[in-house]
Amino acid sequence: MSDEKLQEAIHTLKDSGVRITPQRHAVLEFLLNSMTHPTADEIYKALENKFPNMSVATVYNNLRVFKEIGLVRELTYGDSSSRFDCNTTDHYHVICESCGKIVDFHYPSLNEVESLAEKVTEFDVSHHRMEIYGTCSHCQASMAH
Amino acid sequence: MSDEKLQEAIHTLKDSGVRITPQRHAVLEFLLNSMTHPTADEIYKALENKFPNMSVATVYNNLRVFKEIGLVRELTYGDSSSRFDCNTTDHYHVICESCGKIVDFHYPSLNEVESLAEKVTEFDVSHHRMEIYGTCSHCQASMAH
DNA sequence: TACACTAATTATAAAGATTATTATTTAATA
DNA sequence: TATTAAATAATAATCTTTATAATTAGTGTA
């Protein structure tokens, strides 16, 4: 299923002259299969069984490469570390302020906002980001106690 | 003009039992008068003439206090450090990807998005954030060369 | 105005995330 | 298989933010 995406991503990388190393492959595979939006450290920890000698720098290096190629997006929220999202289709995120869970949320892209901003500010607008904050149902239940 | 806002803010602080120290006053005044959205370090550097002995921790402490009282908002973008905004009225930001300039942008709040997200994800939504990215007119002109 | 109480400040260390450096290893290609 | 440039590992360094502890200083009260 997501194996197809993986092959496609590897193809994209090779086309850009990027070598496919076992570590790189593993980071990419983990990202594609993860539905959460992991931090660099989470990726590092998830792969340390498979690659006991892997360096954190390798994770960061690969994430940078993937970003440059356009395979992943970096998400920066209020908390300390960045998160990485391999779903590059247009979607927004809903974030739980209590547990940090991030849920994808599909909504028609706010083109109107972009065009108005362009008019008002004279910026050449390239994109926008939006996040919605709240409490997930699980945490709501916990709080009820 | 903004002196009125300052007095009001000081009143709010006092009501919450927060002491008005010279450093705290200076950080608050600087924030209220700044139209940019400064980082903690920028505030620190701006005030080091007036307070040569002030500690960075003091800046952070005060920003935390102001945040808790609701006088300022913390903005976290892609770059390394947080920015602080004393304009707590509802508005969005347009950010220049070339020079980092941040411009306020007024747009009716996207309540519809919030309510749909609430329905779809079963979150108890509290708020949202949105930023628009692009190139400011100044940087557009520079690039034309 | 002086006093006492407690919060705020300073200085410093520490933590945590990310980037830089350099020697070593290795994937891809001929 | 040999070559070569790119990737990795190990480590140090940087940068932002928070924690700690001792000192200083607001603010209400007598």
pLDDT digits (tens, 9 = 90+) for A58-95: 999 999 999 999 999 999 887 889 999 987 788 899 98
The answer to whether residues A100 and A62 belong to one domain is: no
Number of domains making up chain B = 2
pLDDT on residue B119? 95
Is residue B105 domain-shared with residue B35, that is, in the same domain? Answer: no
- CB proximity list for A78: less than 8 A, separation 6 or greater: B74, B76
Position A4 scores a pLDDT of: 87
Whether B112 and B81 map to the same domain: the answer is no
A85-89, A114-118, B18-22, B54-58: lowest mean pLDDT where? A85-89
Quote the domain boundaries for residue A108. Answer: 92-144
> CA–CA separation, B22 vs B20, rounded Å?
7
% of chain B with per-residue pLDDT over 90: 72
pLDDT for B121-142, tens place per residue? 999 999 898 999 999 999 999 8
Q: Is B3 on the interface with A (CB under 8 A)?
A: no
Asked if B113 contacts A112 with a C-beta cutoff of 8 angstroms, the reply is: no
Mean pLDDT value across chain B = 91
- B85 pLDDT band, cuts 50/70/90, is very high
Which of the listed residues B42, B67, B85 is the one where a domain comes to its end?
A: B85
Which CATH number does the domain housing residue B111 bear? 3.30.1490.190
Contact between B84 and B38 (Cβ < 8 Å): yes
Domain identity same for B74 and B124: no
Domain boundary among B48, B68, B85: B85
| Interatomic CA distance for residues B48 and B51, integer angstroms | 5
Domain match, A56 and A105 both: no
More confident residue, B111 or B143: B111
Q: Predicted confidence band at B1 (pLDDT cuts at 50, 70, 90)? A: very low
Spanning CA of B9 to C1' of C1, the rounded length in angstroms is 30
CATH number, domain of B58, equals 1.10.10.10
Confidence of residue B3 (pLDDT cuts 50, 70, 90): confident
- Return the amino acid letter for B91: H
Our measurement of CA A55 to C1' C23, in angstroms, reads: 15
State how far the Cα of B30 lies from the Cα of A127, in Å rounded to an integer: 31
Query: Among B85, B108, B123, which residue terminates a domain?
Result: B85
Check residues B78 and B122 and name the one with the higher pLDDT: B122
User: How large is the average pLDDT for residues B111-130?
Assistant: 94
Whole-angstrom distance, CA of residue B76 vs CA of residue B56: 19
Same domain as B43, residue B24: yes
Residues of chain A with pLDDT under 70: 1-2
Residue B6 sits in the same domain as residue B76: yes
Residues A96 and A51 reside in one and the same domain: no
Q: Are residues A6 and A76 in the same domain?
A: yes
The predicted pLDDT at position B74 comes to 92
Q: Which residue is closest to A96 within chain B, CA to CA?
A: B123
Is residue B33 located within the same domain as residue B71? Answer: yes
Q: Nearest CA to CA, how far is B8 from chain A (Å)? A: 28
Are both B76 and B26 inside the same structural domain?
yes
Residue A100: its pLDDT value, please? 78
Q: Quick one: how far is CA A40 from the chain centroid? A: 10
Residues B18 and B73 in one domain: yes
